[in-house]
Amino acid sequence: MEDLILYRLFFILTMNSLERVKAAIHFKKPDRAPVIDLIGGDAIMLPLIPSQKWRPGWLEGEEGLFPHIGRGYKWNRPDWAKNIPEYEGESWRTIPHEEIDEWGCIWNLSGREDNMGHPGRPALKDWADFDEHFEKYNPDPNDASRFKIIRAIQNTVKEEKYNLVLMDFGPFEVASKTIGFSQYLMDHRRHPQEVKKILKHITSYQVKMMEFITKNDINPHGFLIYEDLGEQNNPYLNPKVFKKFYEPVYKTLIDKAHELACEYHIHSCGKIDKLLPAFIEWGLDGIEFDSPRMSGYPNLAPYRGKIMMWGCINIQSVYPNGTKEEVQREVWHMVRNLGTKDGGFGAYFYPQPKDIRAPNRNIIAFRRGLKKYSVYSEIPSHWWDHPVPEVWKDNEVPPLPPVTI
């Protein structure tokens, strides 16, 4: 309890939360690194939910497909899902099954409770069926029932926070789940016009959704999409191909956010440092890394000061496996290697720590590390010039710079 009280007091410095996030994004000297955390962070994460008009499992061909949504969703069940003991309540979640989302994408669930599942069989097997598919699966961007949780959250928060609307998956993710991941990547060469067509369709939806959100008293300050654009060693697409296909996508979304007086942020897993020059050119405000060491601090160094980098303690190594002392030290290395003395770094707490088996001691250590090493006025000036390692090993956390020169 004492740690939680101190953590909350940590947020009371010279700026309010909204000012702090804005200052960090625009390199305007925040008092400390801002934090995205479900417990008292500087940004409120505002999730959109599926439309209340959505009826998963009802259309022809959807027999056996459960709704892809978290617990608590009140599902109007079709006949095939009624009066079956193993489906009663939410017990169907505990058995292997398939789910469907609003875009018609299929998900495989193992029955474990600690994961969101994985994309399954392709929903659109033939580009010739494009119009038929999106006639059936065409979410309405102008549906205020999606704001139910957002309004409930905002009604409980009285402080001035950075309102970050979670737009869920971005165009790359939706398209690849619809077509099937491997097929989608190959179709950039085999069916380039069809790839551009599906990306334009999804982008148009998200533009309309952003416009609708700003007209409905949500007061967003930023939008965040989830786009995993790389694997362990490289982006899925080379930078030249990526820029050719995705400039009309992301620049449209970023420009629309700016037109609405908001910032635009993208989460991405994978080694994507080679894509950052394009994102910076297109005006992206923030990139969020769950595992910043996948891209690598040396490879991200050229982009310090050019784009806001949100980072979690590396979820593949240090966060789940490090000692609490290593986790605290890693906070400094993120502050130093992802941001600048004028800002540009923000801490991101992975919202499902059980999924990555991050122990509670390391979550606490992350918060303690932020109190020690992310208040700019308390960072020794010579730390910013102290040499950083040229080679980083994922399971090792270098020592801190010396306290005195």
pLDDT tens per residue across span 43-76: 999 999 999 999 999 999 999 999 999 877 889 9
The 8 Å CB, 24+ separation contacts for 257-262 are 257/210, 257/222, 257/223, 257/285, 258/283, 260/210, 260/211, 260/214, 260/220, 262/210, 262/214, 262/220, 262/221, 262/222, 262/223
Q: What total of structural domains would you count in the chain? A: 2
Q: Are residues 373 and 319 in the same domain?
A: yes
Q: Are residues 96 and 227 in the same domain?
A: no
Q: Are residues 206 and 88 in the same domain?
A: no
Q: Are residues 182 and 232 in the same domain?
A: yes
Q: Are residues 172 and 258 in the same domain?
A: yes
Structure tokens at 260: 């609405």
Q: Are residues 203 and 265 in the same domain?
A: yes
What is the spatial distance between Cα 392 and Cα 384, in angstroms, rounded to a whole number?
Answer: 18
Beta bridge partners of 36: 348
In a domain, residue 400? The reply is no
Output the pLDDT for position 71.
78
Output the pLDDT for position 8.
54
**pLDDT tens, N- to C-terminus, the chain (405 residues):** 555 555 555 545 589 999 999 999 999 999 999 999 987 899 999 999 999 999 999 999 999 999 999 877 889 999 999 999 999 988 999 999 999 999 999 999 998 766 788 999 999 999 999 999 999 999 999 999 999 999 999 999 888 999 999 999 999 999 999 999 999 999 999 999 999 999 999 999 999 999 999 999 899 999 999 999 999 999 999 999 999 999 999 999 999 999 999 999 999 999 999 999 999 999 999 999 999 999 999 999 999 999 999 999 999 999 999 999 999 999 999 999 999 999 999 999 999 999 899 999 999 999 999 999 999 999 999 999 999 999 999 889 999 999 887
In a domain, residue 323? The reply is yes
Q: Are residues 46 and 74 in the same domain?
A: no
Orientation of helix 171-179 relative to helix 192-214, angle to 10° = 130
Cα three-residue angle 262-268-271, rounded to 5 degrees: 135
What is the spatial distance between Cα 216 and Cα 399, in angstroms, rounded to a whole number?
Answer: 49
Structure tokens at 120: 């399954």
H or E element at residue 131 = helix 130-136
Q: Are residues 258 and 109 in the same domain?
A: no
Q: Are residues 234 and 366 in the same domain?
A: yes
Q: Are residues 114 and 84 in the same domain?
A: yes
Instruction: Provide the residue range defining the domain that includes 93.
Output: 65-101+104-119
Asked if residues 312 and 348 have their Cβ atoms less than 8 Å apart, the reply is yes
Q: Are residues 45 and 69 in the same domain?
A: no
In a domain, residue 309? The reply is yes
Q: Are residues 282 and 362 in the same domain?
A: yes
Q: What is the dihedral of CA 183, 185, 191, 196, to 10 degrees?
A: 120
In a domain, residue 175? The reply is yes
In a domain, residue 391? The reply is no
What is the spatial distance between Cα 310 and Cα 224, in angstroms, rounded to a whole number?
Answer: 12
Question: What does the buried/exposed string (b/e) look like for 242-267 if buried means 16 or more CB atoms within 10 Å of the residue's CB?
Answer: bbebbeebbbbbbebbeebebbbbbb
